[in-house]
Amino acid sequence: MKPERHLMTLDEFTFFQTKQFKNATGELSTLLRDIGLACKLINKQVNKAGLADILGAHGQVNVQGEEQMKLDVFANEVLISVLKNSADCAGVASEENDEIIAFDDEHSKQSKYVVMFDPLDGSSNIDVNASIGTIFCIYKRVSELGQTCNLNDFLQKGKNIMASGYVIYGSSTMMVYATRLGVNGFTLEQSIGEFCLSHKDMKCPDDGKIYSINQGNTCKLSEPLQNYLHYCMADDKETQRPYSHRYIGSMVADLHRTLIKGGIFMYPEDCKNSNGKLRLLYECNPMSHIIEMAGGKGTTGRENILDIQPSELHQRVPIYIGSKNMVEKAVSMIY
């Protein structure tokens, strides 16, 4: 009897993509597989968070002065250790660590990629069982092979990203990743423990009907921004307004919806935080890369996110991201 194959695993898919390039070495595919492995381990812990006495603050404070949850620490450690053991990673930078971690064994020194990640984004949602996620991106290092990698390898513009992605721990667990070949989504098939292709060639619709922002911050926003929010709420048959408002408070979940259904997600500057809240290197760059590869747009309002030259690891930027036409309309009204 011939085995019936309806599923294509993440590994099979990345290998298939690699074969399309004559000079590809498969290192990027190996890294994606390793990140997938780390996220499966994180997923296992996330799924039993309510049972395993793993909820709650861990007592440590991260570089942004935020209290870490136990699962953040776990996710961070798993990603670091899996990538340290990876055959193809020269070093990592994590939202949870002050500095980069350069792997100094001989093999890692010869590796040409570095990885940046937010191990568990939206962690304040853990206690209420709402979706959370891991965000990552991969760059080719700019430092010389044979040396340990250095800060310059990480302070690269988003447009240099080789691959980016997220894993959403939601009603199902999915990995979505983007390369210049496009954006594809893989759902974790629990029975075989593999991410399997479920959303091929994802496209972010040019228009949408959902705006996503922490509206509780409205009084801190500039007048043009407040006017834009009123525009979103205004009744207009021609433009099919008012839009619906959805905000989970977990960037991965809000952007996963935006990618599939269209819409705009915003975390703007306000009178207290001139650069907003979200981190360029761990959140805004990878997410903008994914959305742009899917045909959408990510901007600070003044410049494309992917064009920003980072000056520090934990830099924050305002962000407007999602359906191209909605983002352009917002920017034209606000700036």
123 binds ligand AHG (CB under 6 A): yes
212 binds ligand AHG (CB under 6 A): no
Q: Is 48 helix (H, G, I), strand (E, B) or coil?
A: coil
Strand pairing report for 113-121 and 194-199:
unpaired
Counting Cβ atoms within 10 Å, is residue 35 exposed (0-12), middle (13-18) or buried (19+)?
Answer: buried
**Strand ranges of the sheet holding 194-199, from the earlier edge strand across to the other edge:** 101-102, 91-94, 113-121, 132-140, 163-169, 173-179, 182-189, 194-199
Residue 208: closest CA among 260, 168, 166 = 260
Closest approach of ligand AHG to the CB of residue 183, in Å: 19
66 binds ligand AHG (CB under 6 A): yes
Chain positions 253 to 282 lying near ligand AHG, rule: CB under 6 A, are 254, 277
The single residue among 7, 249, 275, 325 that binds ligand AHG, judged by CB under 6 A, is 249
CB 252 within 8 A of CB 135: yes
The single residue among 71, 79, 251, 319 that binds ligand AHG, judged by CB under 6 A, is 251
Chain positions 133 to 162 lying near ligand AHG, rule: CB under 6 A, are none
68 binds ligand AHG (CB under 6 A): no
250 binds ligand AHG (CB under 6 A): yes
Neighbours of 261 (CB within 10 A): 16
Q: Is 326 helix (H, G, I), strand (E, B) or coil?
A: helix
214 binds ligand AHG (CB under 6 A): yes
The single residue among 124, 129, 160, 227 that binds ligand AHG, judged by CB under 6 A, is 124
Interface region with ligand AHG, contact rule CB under 6 A, candidates 116-124, 149-157, 237-245, 310-318: 116-124
Provide the binding-site residues for ligand AHG, judged by CB under 6 A. Answer: 66, 121-124, 214, 249-251, 254, 277
